A and B are shown apart, each in its own frame.
Chain A
Amino acid sequence: MRKTHEKLINENSTRLDGRKSNQLRPIKIEVGTLSNADGSAYIEQGKNKILAAVYGPKELHPKHRALPDRALLICRYHMAPFSVQERKSPAPSRREIEISKVIREALEPSVFVEYYPRTSIDIFIEVLQADGGTRCSGITVASLALADAGIPMHDLVSACAAGKVDGQLVLDLNDIEDKEGEADLPLALMPNLNAITLIQMDGDLSINEFEQTLNLAKEGCKQIHALQKDALKAKYAAVKEVVEEK
């Protein structure tokens, strides 16, 4: 099975894409990209390109699925056929259905679902280009789309992975590091409340390593949270100034 690359981290402790072990990929976030959705956002995290759209709250069909005391969050994570090296079938795969579920459960604690009983809030996450860590980028961008839709939230959700590659603990794994590395730990965090909404792990870590990786991922989430805030500010603080000038 191993190994297409001799080393994922070279002797200067630099990773294949030139990052240090505790460095995120370059991130670009835009809020309100789509005009037809109630809320939308777009993220570029390294080679990841992900678009998210939010509709609602709106009446749910079929009506029997509606919850009497809160809104139903419906989440669709989907990878475009051209998002990976080999064409991916556009039909939702087992993996995408599972990721849709975990993203929904990662976002649900952040939304005031009890404000909108018997409605649905639809979240669409479209991966245009994938390079590892798309579920984390997807959560980050979907949370911004929810904020852009004006839906009341407890906190923004920021997500980031950390893991172990070539015996070293690293932040924000890309595709090769995820596949060839020893462990991967995606984490979603509500930074202001210090509450974890998603934690998954594959691979092996000792208890000590796990704690270090968790802290590393938490730091990454906090950095991403600052970028999320800037993205919202870039859109809405600017809008306010235009209004004031008139």
Chain B
Amino acid sequence: MRENDRKSGQFVVPGERLGVIEEFIPGTGTYTKDGVIHSQITGRTLLDMLNKKVSIYPLIHGVSVPKIGSIVAGQVSNVQSKSATLRISQIGNKFLSGNFTGILHISDASLDYVDIMYDVCKPGDIMRAKVISTMNRTHHLSTSERNLGVICSFCSHCGHMLTLQERGLRCPKCGKIEKRKFASDYGKG
């Protein structure tokens, strides 16, 4: 980029030269190599002349990997007495092309005390959870918030989808009442 046509809102592709570190502080979406600031992503430049900062406003919202604090959703693949595994297929609002695996421990499952994981979720349920740690190469999840937990579940007796009623989750087909840690918006999503 030449000196005189530097202004905010310019379209840039990865690798494009934005300036040198003597003139700007590199912001998000940029990287520096040999004292030169380059763009990392496709987007538009944002020049903050007051703070002398250059960053890129992304035009592509592609990549999403689970980070600490992100809200994820997925299907419960395995439940043991003290933990459950979740096949994460959605991060925030973005659906993934692949999967990530998350682990929900019983101590993070609910605001209240739960005796056994089978009272929280069962295999096949769709759950919303929050990533609380990425220690030991695994995504640790938590559902101990009102808006987190099972958002869709199936009867363990007949397989029909459970509906939320005053007494809890009930199967409309066979009348079985089941226990879950369901989210506040269960069945609406």
CA of A39 to CA of B97, assembled, Å = 11
State whether A191 and B15 are in contact (beta carbons under 8 Å apart), knowing that A38-B97, A152-B40 are contacts in the complex.
yes
B15 in complex: contacting residue of A120, A151, A154, CB < 8 Å: A154
Assess the A154–B99 pair: CB atoms within 8 A: no
Known: A112-B40, A149-B63, A150-B41. A59 touches B14 (CB 8 A): no
Tell me whether A232 and B13 are in contact (CB under 8 A).
yes
Contact check, B14 vs A153: say whether CB atoms are below 8 A apart. yes
CB distance from B45 to the nearest CB of A (A): 13
Taken residue by residue from 93 to 128, chain B's Cβ proximity to chain A (1 for < 8 Å, 0 otherwise) reads as 000111111000000000000000000000000000
Pick from B15, B65, B101: contact of A156, CB below 8 A: B15
| B62 at the binding interface (Cβ < 8 Å) | yes
Complex CA gap A118/B100 in Å reads 11
A156 touches B14 (CB 8 A): yes
Query: Are B99's CB and A151's CB within 8 A?
Result: no
Q: In the complex the two chains form, what is the Cα distance from A120 to B29 in whole Å?
A: 21
Chain A residue contacts of B42, Cβ below 8 A: 147, 150, 232, 236
Is the C-beta of B58 less than 8 angstroms from some C-beta in chain A?
yes
Q: Which residues of the other chain, A, contact B63 by a CB distance below 8 angstroms?
A: 57, 116, 149-152
Q: Counting CB contacts under 8 A, is B59 at the interface?
A: yes
By beta carbon, the residue of chain B nearest A53 is B97
A168 vs B125: C-alpha distance when bound (angstroms):
67
Taking a contact as CB atoms under 8 Å apart, the answer to whether A233 and B58 are in contact is no
When the two chains form their complex, are residues B97 and A192 in contact, meaning their CB atoms are under 8 A apart? no
With an 8 A cutoff between CB atoms, is A177 at the interface?
A: no
With contacts A112-B40, A148-B60 taken as known, whether A56 is within 8 angstroms of B11 at the C-beta atoms is: no
Question: What are the residues of chain B within 8 A of A237 when measuring CB–CB?
Answer: 11, 59
Q: Are B101 and A59 in contact (CB under 8 A)?
A: yes
Interface residues of B in 17-70 (CB under 8 A from A): 17, 29, 31, 33, 38, 40-44, 58-63, 65
Among B31, B33, B58, B100, which residue has its beta carbon within 8 angstroms of that of A58? B100
**In the complex, chain A residues 54-71 whose Cβ is within 8 Å of any chain B Cβ:** 55-59, 68
Residue from the list B11, B15, B62, B101 in contact with A149, Cβ < 8 A = B62
Contacts of B41 in A (CB 8 A): 147, 150, 152-153
* B16 engages A239 (CB within 8 Å): no
Q: Which residues of A contact B29 (CB under 8 A)?
A: 152
Shortest CB-to-CB span from A201 to chain B, Å, is 26
| B2 contacts partner chain A, Cβ-Cβ < 8 Å | no
Complexed CA–CA distance, A214 and B17 (Å):
24
Q: A55-B98, A59-B98 are in contact. Are A228 and B62 (CB under 8 A)?
A: no
User: Closest CB-CB distance, A176 to chain B, in whole Å?
Assistant: 34
In the bound complex, residues from chain A placing their C-beta under 8 Å from that of B96 are: 58
Determine whether the beta carbon of A155 is less than 8 Å from that of B38.
yes
B96 to A, closest residue via Cβ: A58
**A39 CB contacts on chain B under 8 angstroms:** 62
Residues of the A chain whose Cβ atoms lie less than 8 Å from the Cβ of B60: 147-150, 236
A55 to B98, CA, bound (A): 8
State the CA gap A153–B137 with chains docked (Å). Answer: 24
Nearest residue, chain B, Cβ from A190 = B15
A205 contacts the other chain (CB 8 A): no
Considering the complex, which residues of chain A in the window 143-167 have a beta carbon less than 8 Å from any beta carbon of chain B? 147-156
Q: How far apart sit A125 and B129, CA to CA, in the bound complex (Å)?
A: 36
- By Cβ-Cβ distance, the 7 closest A-B pairs, closest first, are A150-B62, A58-B98, A155-B15, A150-B60, A153-B14, A192-B15, A152-B40
Name 12 A/B residue pairs within 8 A (Cβ), A-sorted: A38-B97, A56-B98, A58-B96, A147-B60, A152-B14, A152-B31, A152-B41, A190-B15, A228-B13, A233-B11, A236-B43, A236-B60
B→A interface (CB under 8 Å): 11, 13-17, 29, 31, 33, 38, 40-44, 58-63, 65, 96-101, 137
